[in-house]
Structure 1
């Protein structure tokens, strides 16, 4: 328990401070969360995620739909895959990508709801 050194500046009680310190995620968890949100900082990646809301796609179809080169599309999909936002399956030589799970749908929906308020 840390001592409240400047009590005249704080409206929180020591119990409040202790509770908040216990409930605040670790620095590592906050770093990982910030890194996840950085992935959403690129509109091309967000466009890819929105395309995958409808159905899984191969790189070629996605690149054509979004007006990207297959190389640029593959690069962005790699970033999304490394962030666990998309998954893939192989069918012969072709890779098909889809959203990793319902959390990704929720993140997109909540973000859109927020900006449209």
Structure 2
């Protein structure tokens, strides 16, 4: 596979399709989705702060962050003994936002994100 080939990968025969599936698989976990949402809101958080936000143990959050880091969805910055996590780019948060919006559509009616008074994450 020539996935490292540069150029637009948005085509049915793209070598990036398999990698896109891996991204979806990485985000197919509620805790990881919550981590992405928390980092979108806060910008940068420590493991302990993320654990509080997503209501999981720091050890569990650390394991999820390690996977997200390997997938290059999150990046780190170290300050003394503390490590802070942030989203590598805006794409994961857009995927999560679109998934949440799609889930809202499954309820029927007009989803909240279509109301003019609702802020939309992008």
What TM-score range do you get, normalising by the shorter chain?
0.7 to 0.9
TM-score (norm 2): 0.70
Which of 40, 46, 49 is residue 58 of structure 1 equivalent to?
46
Which of 28, 32, 37 is residue 19 of structure 2 equivalent to?
32
Shift of 1:64: 2.0
Structure 1 residues 23, 68: closer, same or farther in 2, change over 3 A?
Answer: closer
Shift of 1:69: 1.5
TM-score (norm 1): 0.73
Shift of 1:77: 0.3
Shift of 1:90: 0.5
Tell me the distance in 1 between the aligned counterparts of 2:92 and 2:28: 15
Indicate yes or no: 2:61 matched with 1:77: no
Shift of 1:61: 1.1
Shift of 1:76: 0.1
Structure 1 residues 85, 51: closer, same or farther in 2, change over 3 A?
Answer: same
Tell me the distance in 2 between the aligned counterparts of 1:36 and 1:23: 17
Which of 35, 45, 49 is residue 32 of structure 2 equivalent to?
45
Question: May I ask how many residue pairs the two structures share in their alignment?
Answer: 94
Higher Cα radius of gyration: 1
Residues 59-117 of structure 1: CA deviation (Å, up to 9, x unaligned): 01111222211111100001111111111100011000111111122212221222212
Indicate yes or no: 2:72 matched with 1:109: no
* Root mean square deviation of aligned Cα: 1.6
* Higher relative helix content: 1
